[in-house]
A and B are shown apart, each in its own frame.
Chain A
Amino acid sequence: MLQLELPDHERQVLCARAIWICVGCETCLSRCPKEVDLPRAMDFLRQEALAVDTVSPDASDIVAFHRAFLGSIERHGRLFELGTVLGYKLRTGHLLQDAALAPSMIRRGKLGALPHRTDRQAAAGIFARVRALKEPGK
């Protein structure tokens, strides 16, 4: 993948499901005798795939999860787990997934009904400035 910088392969790589399945466990990097930073390459390829809009349809639920997660941080400053899961369900249509888990999480005090209070403006500001830097002139 890293050696074949041909346009055909680039397309193939950017459309791959594999770049989204990689969770960044960093095992490859820690074992690579040449210290090739594949986790960093994976991050780059994911962001390229988003930028040129070639995300594999097989990975749409994974991307939906990331979007729900980041959306929660942008709104609340901290992760609001219940909101994130609901956001994910709405984005993917997997409405019944883990439905049985929610009551047992609530029983164990592990699923808060409300977001935590923190500096919401600060997080929203960071997201806004990151966007502004990416889209100069807008």
Chain B
Amino acid sequence: MRLGYYPGCSLLGSSRDFGESVEAVAGALGVELFEVPRWNCCGASSAHAMDRLLALALPATVLATAARANLGEVLAPCASCYHRLVVAQHEIAGSPELKRKVEQVIDIPMGPPVRVLNILEFLERCADRIASKVKQPFAHTVACYYGCLLVRPSKIVAFDRSEDPVSMDRLVVQVGGKTVEWSSKTECCGAALSIPRTPVVGRLGAKIVGDAVAANAEAIVVACPMCHSNLDMRRVSIEEALGRKVSIPVLFITQVVGLALGLPPRALGLERHFVEVKLPAEAAMRASAAS
């Protein structure tokens, strides 16, 4: 399988662990990822907060460049990148006038439509390959946390169920795990307020982490770099808001799948987390045997 790939800025920096695990899993599944040539940032929250045209033009450049490189499908593992690409595509497709304006700004034609895949869609598509390659079932009970941008706005992203999504839960079960029923699956982590309003992110994260612990999850599993850094890197602020220490680790879904495929923890970036990834004994033994 050959697939276009838009890693986005986070996956090269503060969420390197996500990038490493995406690439390691794709490699193990025999999927070739072709990076969109000379890709630029999607603009993330800052562009759409500050400038509508810029917020459409930045992702439009990525889509147009992918189309020009004959990449009919592009994997965008970051939930925010995925969201910006899909929303820009939707808005531009809905208005010839807007399309003309965007093309004037980006200075290349939009080209044929490119299908953008989020990481869960990608893994779902590889379900059979994953099933045939599981070496060490992921025997843990986890809380799947989807956040905002993979499932909303439901009419545009048209992915899973916006209130109680299940695709990540299905993937965890498929690789041998169990998932808890909980009500914070699509709560917001505070996203880009991480820097200008850290205590807000601490309070929002406290609800999510507290709920996962109360549901007896051994770990929280995420599919978004921003969610990960707000629940993992911002754990100190979360603990301040909760008034107690919480050691529940936060794993990317690609790390869960990678562990089940028998990939070494280091190749999945697991040592880069702020909250140590220590799962109960059985898994720890398997993990060390694999590395």
A residues whose Cβ falls under 8 Å from a Cβ of B: 20-21, 23-27, 29-30, 39, 43-44, 46-47, 50, 61-67, 69-70, 73, 77-79, 81, 85, 88, 92, 97-98, 101, 104-105, 108-112, 116, 118-119, 122-123, 125-127, 129-130, 133-134
A70 touches B46 (CB 8 A): yes
- CB-CB under 8 A from A78, the residues of chain B are 9, 12, 39-41
B140 to chain A, nearest CB (A): 23
A25 touches B196 (CB 8 A): no
B267 at the interface (CB under 8 A from A): no
A27 touches B45 (CB 8 A): no
> Residue B49 contacts which of A66, A104, A108 (CB distance < 8 angstroms)?
A66
Which of B103-111, B166-174, B175-183, B211-219 is found at the contact surface with chain A?
B103-111
A85 to chain B, nearest CB (A): 7
Which of B50-58, B248-256, B281-289 is found at the contact surface with chain A?
B50-58
Identify which of B51, B61, B101, B200 gathers the most chain A CB atoms within 10 Å of its CB. Answer: B51
B4 at the interface (CB under 8 A from A): no
Known A23-B191, A23-B193; judge A125-B107 contact (CB<8 A): yes
A126 touches B105 (CB 8 A): yes
Contact-residue size bin, chain B (C-beta under 8 Å from the other chain)? 35 or more
B residues whose Cβ falls under 8 Å from a Cβ of A: 9-10, 12-17, 38-41, 43-55, 57-58, 61, 101, 104-107, 148-149, 151-154, 162-163, 186, 188, 190-193, 195-198, 200, 233, 271-274
A112 touches B188 (CB 8 A): no
B152 touches A30 (CB 8 A): yes
B49 touches A24 (CB 8 A): yes
A126 to B51, CA, bound (A): 12
- CB-CB under 8 A from A105, the residues of chain B are 14, 233
B191 touches A25 (CB 8 A): yes
A70 touches B47 (CB 8 A): yes
Other A-B contacts than A25-B148, A30-B153, A126-B54, 13 sampled, CB-CB below 8 A, are A23-B45, A24-B45, A26-B148, A39-B153, A43-B49, A62-B196, A65-B196, A70-B43, A70-B46, A70-B50, A73-B58, A78-B9, A85-B195
- CB-CB under 8 A from A27, the residues of chain B are 148, 152, 186, 188
A81 to B41, CA, bound (A): 12
Known A118-B39, A130-B54; judge A79-B13 contact (CB<8 A): yes
Known A43-B48, A123-B41; judge A70-B152 contact (CB<8 A): no
A67 to chain B, nearest CB (A): 8
- CB-CB under 8 A from A50, the residues of chain B are 50
A108 to B191, CA, bound (A): 21
Sample (21) of A-B pairs whose CB atoms are under 8 Å apart: A21-B193, A23-B45, A24-B148, A24-B191, A27-B152, A27-B186, A46-B50, A47-B52, A64-B196, A65-B46, A70-B54, A73-B43, A108-B271, A108-B272, A109-B16, A110-B13, A116-B12, A122-B38, A123-B41, A123-B58, A133-B53
A109 touches B272 (CB 8 A): yes
A97 to B152, CA, bound (A): 32
A21 touches B40 (CB 8 A): no
A65 to B44, CA, bound (A): 12
B114 to chain A, nearest CB (A): 18
Cβ-closest chain A residue relative to B188: A25
A64 to B233, CA, bound (A): 22
- CB-CB under 8 A from B153, the residues of chain A are 26, 29-30, 39
- CB-CB under 8 A from B151, the residues of chain A are 30
A77 to B162, CA, bound (A): 32
Known A27-B188, A30-B162, A65-B46; judge A127-B54 contact (CB<8 A): yes
A59 to chain B, nearest CB (A): 8
Cβ-closest chain B residue relative to A37: B153
- CB-CB under 8 A from A25, the residues of chain B are 148, 152, 188, 191
B154 touches A79 (CB 8 A): no
A127 to B54, CA, bound (A): 7
